[in-house]
Structures are given as structure tokens and as C-alpha cells.
Amino acid sequence: MHLLSTGCLCAILFTALLRQVSSLDTVIGLYGETLEIPCNKEATNAEITKWKYDKGDGDAGDLLVRRKNQNVIVIAGDEYKSRVNLTSNSSLLLSAAKLSDQGKFTCIFVTEDIDEYHVNVVIYKTPVGLEILEKAVELEIGKQTKLGKCIAEDSNPAVNITWLKNNKPLLADRQGINIQDTVQVDPVTGLSTTTSVLMYSAQKEDTDAEFSCSTEHSLGQKFTSSSESFTITYSTENIMLQVIAPEPLVEGDNVILKCEADGNPAPTSFNFHLKGETTVTVENDNTYTITNVSRGTSGEYKCSLIDNPTMKASKDITVNYLDINLSPSGSVEKKTGEALAINLKVDASGEYKVYWTKDNVKLDKQPSLTKLNYSDAGFYECEVTMGALSEKASFELIVQGAPVIKRLLKQRSNDGRHEVLNCEAEGFPKPAISWSVNGTSSEEGAFVNGKITHKITVVPTANLTVYCTVSNDYGSDSKDINVSSLFEEVRMDKRDQSEDGDQTKMVVGVIVGLLVAALVIGLSYWVYMRKSKQGSWKTGEKESGSSEEEKKLEEKVEENSQKAEV
Ligand SMILES: *[C@@H]1O[C@H](CO)[C@@H](O)[C@H](O)[C@H]1NC(C)=O
Ligand SMILES: *[C@@H]1O[C@H](CO)[C@@H](O)[C@H](O)[C@H]1NC(C)=O
Ligand SMILES: *[C@@H]1O[C@H](CO)[C@@H](O)[C@H](O)[C@H]1NC(C)=O
Ligand SMILES: *[C@@H]1O[C@H](CO)[C@@H](O)[C@H](O)[C@H]1NC(C)=O
Ligand SMILES: *[C@@H]1O[C@H](CO)[C@@H](O)[C@H](O)[C@H]1NC(C)=O
Ligand SMILES: *[C@@H]1O[C@H](CO)[C@@H](O)[C@H](O)[C@H]1NC(C)=O
Ligand SMILES: *[C@@H]1O[C@H](CO)[C@@H](O)[C@H](O)[C@H]1NC(C)=O
Ligand SMILES: *[C@@H]1O[C@H](CO)[C@@H](O)[C@H](O)[C@H]1NC(C)=O
């Protein structure tokens, strides 16, 4: 019995000891709420159930006790007095759990033996929420800036805060991303507040990025702050100067200089540097207009940022110009034999070409007029072109001088009844042309480039030398031509062939057909010749044999001759 009881006691002690060791469970309670701390199942039918707690310094404090089928007697001090109770199955109910409640609770129950059951209590609290505070107004690219402060307030245990960009974790890399975490413990509640400050060096692609912070509590609950996006600012990286000008740009045009720079916010005011001479500051505009440009406007133009003069762009402006000066100009009068110096001065901004025309006919080079003659007279024009630009200048050359007869020709008409004399002369001003005989008709050609022709129709009755005389203010010229009598030839044609050859033969053909008429005409001429003055020329037209008609004819001939006179 003794042995048995001893053995039994040993067994109980052993099991009690065993239970004590094996039953150190951990119960997690939520801060502020009621926590049920279970005792061993075997305690359900215990005679006595008692709960104690570890005061922390090794001492134990009593909480409550219950005898079987009796009411709970709370024996705890002030701290627990109002917060503890016991369930029917001996679990300790602890309301308004606090962090200070954490620690070892012990359930002592007496069945046949006395057992102790230890429970480790842990009180957790999730943070109040996650919030980003002290947000940056804007983020400047490349400049590490405090993006914000994320706060997870009042938690236990302290939480770790993770920063997210577009829901992907940001890891501190000591360059662009720097995260500083601090944990503060409330001296009263013992709760931890975790603060995480994100120092962030933004990049261009962060413009629409969503930043947030999150945490996962030990209990497995996830918290994420609302997401924030930031204005990403960056200073100007590129600056460009645009020149808005007509093509080609010529004097009198307007030119707009337009400066464009990136950056956020983009710069709105600029300095324009005009050929390194002047600097113009333009506020709230990015253009500067140069009106009425001249050749002096050509040069280098720049624009730069007001606050960062090293950010600048430049462009060259070239104003095209083409000035020509032709000497002589207008109308020039020169005498034959003189020289005319032609001087074309071109002032151009680039390479140019010169084209010459005389009376709208292309010349292959600039004319060289060293010894003027009448054929040099005319309208000279030069055109100078440079790209799309072109200028023209011209002068009219009048070559003056005493007239010269170039040719004096005779030509017998087809019917052989009259001869046409042609006097070709050059001279300026227009020469007067006179003949030594009166023709039946005369015709004067146009006076072009100092050239003129004058024709008269004559019916020679005798071999004669005819003079053509031309004259103007500068002098005169005269030439003669021998004309043989048509009527001699008619007669002689019958006997022998004249040196006139083919033409005479043709005339003979006509004459033979009119043989009878010719005889009559010859007779009437005989009569007429005797009456008329010696050496004068009369027409043979419409002659008849009657003496009355002769008189009429004479009058008519006189009339015709007058008309024909030059
Ligand atoms: C005590 O009873 C409650 C229900 O009233 C139960 O949830 C709990 O697990 C029981 N405790 C033990 C140790 O049996
Ligand atoms: C303890 O619980 C019992 C029921 O289990 C209840 O009647 C009693 O009022 C409670 N006491 C306290 C102080 O809450
Ligand atoms: C917080 O981070 C530290 C270090 O990274 C880690 O040791 C700890 O377990 C983390 N705590 C939680 C609650 O995640
Ligand atoms: C343009 O400038 C020229 C001189 O450079 C001047 O003679 C002319 O009057 C100006 N024209 C206008 C419209 O201002
Ligand atoms: C006039 O001059 C041109 C060239 O200078 C020459 O070809 C022409 O023969 C000249 N004419 C006369 C009539 O001298
Ligand atoms: C030509 O006619 C005019 C007027 O009729 C006259 O005066 C002149 O003498 C005539 N000339 C000759 C050469 O017959
Ligand atoms: C006219 O000249 C021709 C030669 O040209 C000559 O044969 C003829 O006899 C001359 N006539 C007169 C009337 O002199
Ligand atoms: C015209 O004839 C005369 C002689 O009758 C002669 O001397 C003269 O040279 C001739 N003139 C011409 C241009 O042929």
C-alpha cells in the first residue's frame, strides 16, 4: 500500500510534472478584447480550480478560485479584479486585454492530484490603418526627395512597412531609393507605431506611377494605404531654336525665332541672343520676331533659359540679297565707232548667274561694244539669278551717225514693164532718202535698228545713172546705179539678145504678145518725148496715140510722179 501509494504518488508527480512541461501553450489574444485562456480539459471536473499569473518578477499573483459547484471567487488585485471570470470548463476569461497582460498564466486544478497548466499569453494588435503623410508636393527627376511618410499606428508587434510603386515593392538601393523606418512604443499602452520615410529619386516614367505603402501583420492581415501619384518635375534637358521664315528669306521679310524647351513644368520665359550683340528677355512667350530683316540681320541667333544660361540652342539666319546695278541704264545714245562700256555690278549673298539678251534674243556672254555700228543698237537686258531670286536691268542703245548706203539694187518686174530700185541704208536718226529720179510709186520700209529700205518703181526710157542719197544730221551718203532703158531693149530684143540674158528673154515673151500695142506706144512716146523735158522719166502706162489723151496722160503722169517722190 505504501509502496503502491508511494509508487502512485511518484506516478502522479511524474505525470503532473510531465503535464506541466508539455502544456505550455501560447494563446494569442486581441488587444482590447476578451481573451479566453483555456485550462486543461481534465480541469473540467476539478474540485478546485484556481488561476494565477506571473507578475514578471518571478512572483505569482492570484486571480480567482472556484470550488466545485460553487461560485467564482475573484481574489485578484485592482489590475485584474474587474476583468477576470471563469467559464464552466475552467477557462479564464480576461476582458479588455492589454499588452501588460502578456505573460504566463497558470491554471491550478485539483482532481485527485494537483495539476498546473501553464499558458503563455500574447496580445496582438493590428495597426489602426496605413496612411501616407507629409507627401511631397512634386518629385524632381534625379533629385532624391522625401516622397512621404507612411505610418502604421498602434500595433503589436511592431509591423514592417513596405513601400509599393504600382503594387510592386520598392527596395532600398542606397541610390535612388532610401527607406528609413522607425518604431515608437507608446509608454502607456506599449503599442508600437512604425514610421517609414521613403526618400525617392524620381524618373520620367514615374509620372503616372501609383505609390502606396503596405504591411502584413503577424496575424496575417494585410493593410495598404491609399495610393498617391505625384507631379514629376524635371529641369530642361533639351532646348531647340526654330527659325520660322519664308524661303528664300529676303530683305524686308519677317523672321520668328521660336525657342522650345522641355521640362516639367516647361520654362515659359527665355533669353534671345541676337548675334551676340543684344539679349532680349521674353516673358511668358517663347517667340521673338525680327521684322523687316536686312542683310545685316544675317548671323547667329541663340536662345537660352533665363535661370540656366548653359541650356541654349542656336541657329544661323542668312538673309539673301541680290542687288544689281547696270551701267548704262535707260536710253543711251552713242555715235558709230565709239565704244560703250557696260558695267554690271552685282552684290549678292551667294552664287549667282547672269544672262544677257539683246532684243529678246539670248546672248552667250556680256556684250563687248568697243566699236559701235548700227547693228549694235537695240534693247539690252541682263537677268541675274540666285536661287529663286532674280533681278533684271536693261538699257536701250541708240547708235547715231551719218547714214551709209549698204546696198543699192535693181530688179525688173515680172512683166518687164518697170524696174524696182531698192536703196538699203543704215543711220540714226532716221535718214532721209532721196532719188535722182521720180518713180511711179515709192515704198519706204520700217526703220528698225537704224536700218531702212526705200523702193521706187521706175519705167526707164533711156539708159541712166540713178542716185540714191541718204542724209541725216550727221551727214549723208550717195550711191548710183545704172539702169538701162526698157524701150531700147524692146527694140533691140528683136535684133540681138542683150547682156541681160534670161530676164530679157522673159520680157521678150511678153513684148512679142503686145507687139502691135508696143508699136503704138513707141510712136506716142516719140511724140511725147519731143515735148517733154530732156532727161525726165515718164511712165509708159496707159499711153495711147491721140493727142488729147496725151495731155491727159501727161497730167496723170505728173500726179503719179509727185506721189512717188521721196
Ligand atoms: C470550454 O468551453 C468552450 C465553449 O463553451 C470551448 O470553446 C472550449 O474549447 C472549452 N475549453 C476546454 C479547455 O475544453
Ligand atoms: C462571471 O460569469 C458568470 C457566468 O459564467 C456570470 O454569472 C458572472 O456575472 C460573471 N461575473 C463577472 C464579474 O462578470
Ligand atoms: C520585419 O523585418 C525584419 C527584418 O527584415 C524581420 O526580421 C521581421 O521578422 C519582420 N517583421 C514582420 C512582422 O514582418
Ligand atoms: C525696312 O527697312 C528698311 C531699311 O533697312 C527701310 O528703308 C524700310 O522702310 C523698312 N520697311 C518697313 C516696312 O519698316
Ligand atoms: C557691226 O559690228 C558687228 C560686231 O561688232 C559686226 O559683226 C558687223 O559686221 C558690224 N557691221 C558693220 C556694218 O560694220
Ligand atoms: C520730180 O517731180 C517733182 C514734182 O513734180 C519735180 O519738181 C522734179 O523736178 C521732178 N524731178 C525729176 C528729176 O524729174
Ligand atoms: C543702153 O545701154 C545698153 C547697154 O547696157 C546699150 O546696148 C544701148 O545701146 C544703150 N542705149 C542707148 C539709147 O544709149
Ligand atoms: C554706169 O555707166 C557709166 C558709163 O555709162 C560707167 O562709167 C559707170 O561706172 C556705171 N556705173 C555703174 C554703177 O555701173
Q: Nearest C-alpha to atom 3 of ligand 3 is from which residue? A: 160
In a domain, 521, yes or no: yes
12 and 102 share a domain? yes
Torsion angles phi and psi, residue 59, rounded to 5: -80, 155
The pTM of the full predicted model, rounded to 2 decimals, is 0.54
pLDDT tens per residue across span 25-76: 899 999 999 999 998 888 788 889 999 999 888 788 999 999 988 888 998 8
192 and 101 share a domain? no
Question: Whole-angstrom Cα distance, residue 394 to residue 391?
Answer: 10
- C-alpha 245 chain-centroid distance: 10
Closest CA to 458 of 493, 500, 413: 413
By residue range, what is the domain housing residue 457? 399-487
Q: In what order do the strands lie in the sheet with 103-110?
A: 25-30, 114-124, 103-110, 48-54, 60-67, 73-74
> How far is residue 424 from each of residues 254, 471, 475, 562, measured CA to CA in Å?
59, 13, 16, 22
In a domain, 362, yes or no: no
Q: Does the C-beta of 383 come closer than 6 Å to ligand 7?
A: no
Q: How far is the CA of 503 from the centre of ligand 8 (A)?
A: 20
Q: 265: which strand partners?
A: none
Question: Whole-angstrom Cα distance, residue 497 to residue 532?
Answer: 30
Element (H, E) at 508: helix 502-513
pLDDT tens per residue across span 317-333: 999 999 999 999 999 99
User: Alpha-carbon dihedral of residues 168, 174, 179, 183, nearest 10 degrees?
Assistant: 130
- From 168, 201, 233, the end of a domain falls on 233
What is the average pLDDT score of the chain?
A: 83
- From 101, 124, 147, the end of a domain falls on 124
Give the mean model confidence (pLDDT) for residues 440-466.
88
Question: Whole-angstrom Cα distance, residue 179 to residue 167?
Answer: 17
pLDDT at position 522 = 53
Q: Where are the beta strands (DSSP E) in 413-530?
A: 419-428, 432-435, 441-444, 451-458, 464-472, 475-483
Say if CB 52 and CB 46 are below 8 A apart: no
Q: Does the C-beta of 559 come closer than 6 Å to ligand 6?
A: no
Q: Nearest C-alpha to atom 6 of ligand 1 is from which residue? A: 89
Question: What percentage of the chain reaches a pLDDT higher than 70?
Answer: 82
12 and 98 share a domain? yes
pLDDT tens per residue across span 182-226: 999 999 999 999 999 999 999 888 888 999 999 998 888 899 999
Q: Nearest C-alpha to atom 12 of ligand 7 is from which residue? A: 463
212 and 251 share a domain? no
C-alpha cell at 20: 506541466
Q: Which atom of ligand 7 is nearest to the CA of 462?
A: 13
pLDDT at position 12 = 41
Question: Whole-angstrom Cα distance, residue 426 to residue 405?
Answer: 6
Q: How large is the angle between the packed helices 515-531 and 502-513, nearest 10 degrees?
A: 100
- C-alpha 401 chain-centroid distance: 62
**Which domain CATH number covers 442?**
2.60.40.10
Q: Does the C-beta of 480 come closer than 6 Å to ligand 8?
A: yes
Q: Does the C-beta of 375 come closer than 6 Å to ligand 5?
A: yes
80 and 185 share a domain? no
